């Protein structure tokens, strides 16, 4: 997968659109390792962008706007990976990770944070598999997912 790409978010009458430009193969993620992903973030625009980025890479993606809603969706479906914001009103990302692991110990959980990895690692329980700092690139999130999905296949 080439590393030259760009992301543009523009508002039109239909809502937000995501444009990925550059030299990359959008099907490579699906061809390497398939993963069903749940994205949980209270920031609507960020959640939409991440969901569209991952869908464009070939992953099957669902999303939720809070930890509580994310847990409800998670319990009704099977997901390989949960990507959750760290700081959200109500149930935060670490609390969601703990609930996910109680229900499905093999599901991988990634915390997305702008607070810095040290903040999350200071609270890190065994429920959190990885922490990724915001902002992140398409290549960074894809690599994180590929690494975790690969570990899941070998677990």
Instruction: List pLDDT tens digits, range 45-64.
Output: 999 999 999 999 889 999 99
Say yes or no to pLDDT of 85 above 70: yes
Say yes or no to pLDDT of 6 above 60: no
From 90, 46, 45, select the one nearest 70 (Cα to Cα): 90
The Cα 3–Cα 92 span in angstroms is: 32
Q: Are 112 and 132 in contact (CB under 8 A)?
A: yes
Q: Are 94 and 128 in contact (CB under 8 A)?
A: yes
Domains and CATH numbers, the chain: 26-154 (3.40.50.2300)
Q: How confident is the model at residue 66 (pLDDT cuts 50, 70, 90)?
A: very high
Q: In what order do the strands lie in the sheet with 130-133?
A: 60-64, 36-40, 81-85, 108-113, 130-133
Say yes or no to pLDDT of 37 above 50: yes
DSSP-derived secondary structure letter, 9: E
Say yes or no to pLDDT of 124 above 60: no
Say yes or no to pLDDT of 83 above 50: yes
Say yes or no to pLDDT of 42 above 90: yes
Do strands 130-133 and 108-113 pair parallel, antiparallel, or not at all (unpaired)?
A: parallel
The Cα 56–Cα 28 span in angstroms is: 10
């Amino acid at each position: 997968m080439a590393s030259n790409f760009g992301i543009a978010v523009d508002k039109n009458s239909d809502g937000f659109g995501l444009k990925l430009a550059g030299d990359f193969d959008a099907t490579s993620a699906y061809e390497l390792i398939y993963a069903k992903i749940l994205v949980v973030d209270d920031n609507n625009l960020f959640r939409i962008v991440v969901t569209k980025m991952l869908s464009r890479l070939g992953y099957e993606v669902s999303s939720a706007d809070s930890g509580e809603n994310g847990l409800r969706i998670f319990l009704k479906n099977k997901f390989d990976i949960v990507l959750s914001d760290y700081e959200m009103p109500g149930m935060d990302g670490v609390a969601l990770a703990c609930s996910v692991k109680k229900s499905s110990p093999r599901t991988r959980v990634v915390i997305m944070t702008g607070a810095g990895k040290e903040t999350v690692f200071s609270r890190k329980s065994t429920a959190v598999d990885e922490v990724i700092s915001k902002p992140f690139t398409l290549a960074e999130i894809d690599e994180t997912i590929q690494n975790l999905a690969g570990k899941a296949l070998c677990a």
